[in-house]
Amino acid sequence: MARLTPDNVVRAHELIALYPEKRSALIPILHVLQEQDGYLSEDGMVHVGEIVGLEAVEVKGTASFYDMFHFEPVGKYLVAVCTNIACMLQGAYRLLEHAEEALGVAPGGTTADGMFTLEDAECLALCGNAPCLTVNWRFFGDVDPEGFDGLVEDLRAGRLEAEVPPHGTLSRVGRRQGLRALPPGGPGRDEAALVGEDGAGDGGSAANGSAAAHVAPGSAIDLSTRRSTAATAVVDAAHLESPK
């Protein structure tokens, strides 16, 4: 494919409706394009530019700033091995070398069957589980060469399809509807619904991704983080308490 499909054009206009200016929806729409094709094609970027009122060069110039976007086809699974300091000290380069041998490609290369593209990544922010890697931006920590081989085998066999969708899919949660602005005059006249196409926000966790999480007018939205990895689960509780 090249241009956005009719359904994705609808998604693009739904995203545009969330912003005061059409061009503000550029990055979310580019993610829709990459989800569709696995990368940003030239024709696809031209189409996105037509939708948001930008020239193709402006679209590509913006997209090229972000390393999550790819301009050439990549494998179904983009495997990024972190080699930053914490992972390096835990054997990241040994893991990367093993990945090169196991997949038969150097970083930046794609396997002949189109299944895997290998990357050497900077910090992936899972330092407590070093060495770590991501597959299509899904995290895997404490990975040794043997664990890498098992991961590749599971991916090839399709055993992780529920956890790791094809490259480009940020989330399989329902479409983003955004936070509806309350009417002038303050709270008490409407509700605001928050649903995240990218899985962000409490609405992103709604059952089957279609039900909105309702926020009472005037109430604060919970923006606190959740500590959920195995590494953070064992952090001394004292470190999380504010000084007395």
> What is residue 208's predicted lDDT score, i.e. its pLDDT?
35
What pLDDT does 190 receive? 38
Q: Above 60 in pLDDT, residue 83?
A: yes
State the chain's maximal CA–CA distance in angstroms. 64
User: Helix, strand, or coil here: 116?
Assistant: strand
Answer yes or no: are the C-beta atoms of 79 and 117 closer than 8 Å.
yes
Other C-beta atoms within 10 Å of 101: how many? 10
Query: How far, in Å, CA of 150 to CA of 156, rounded?
Result: 10
Q: Are residues 95 and 135 in the same domain?
A: yes
Q: What are phi and psi for residue 213, nearest 5 degrees?
A: -90, 120
Say if residue 186 is in the same domain as residue 153.
no
- Residue 117 shares a structural domain with residue 89: yes
**SS3 assignment, position 127:** helix
Structural domain total, the chain: 3
187-244: per-residue pLDDT in tens? 443 333 333 444 333 333 333 333 333 444 454 545 444 444 444 444 444 445 545 4
> What is residue 57's three-state secondary structure?
helix
pLDDT tens digits along 103-121: 999 999 999 999 999 999 9
pLDDT at site 172: 72
89 pLDDT higher than 60: yes
pLDDT tens-digit map of 117-176: 999 999 999 999 999 999 999 999 999 999 999 999 999 999 999 999 999 998 876 666
Query: Please, what sign has the CA dihedral across residues 27, 10, 178, 23?
Result: positive
Q: Do residues 84 and 139 share a domain?
A: yes
150 and 87 housed in the same domain: yes
Determine the distance from the C-alpha atom of residue 223 to the mean position of all C-alpha atoms in its chain, rounded to a whole number: 19
Residue 165 lies in a domain: no
The domain spanning residue 37 has which CATH number?
A: 1.10.10
In this structure, are 49 and 87 located in the same domain?
Answer: no
Residue 147's CATH number: 3.40.30.10
Residue of 63, 57, 51, 59 whose CA lies nearest to 22: 51
Say if residues 135 and 164 touch (Cβ distance below 8 Å): yes
Which residues constitute the domain of residue 17?
A: 6-63
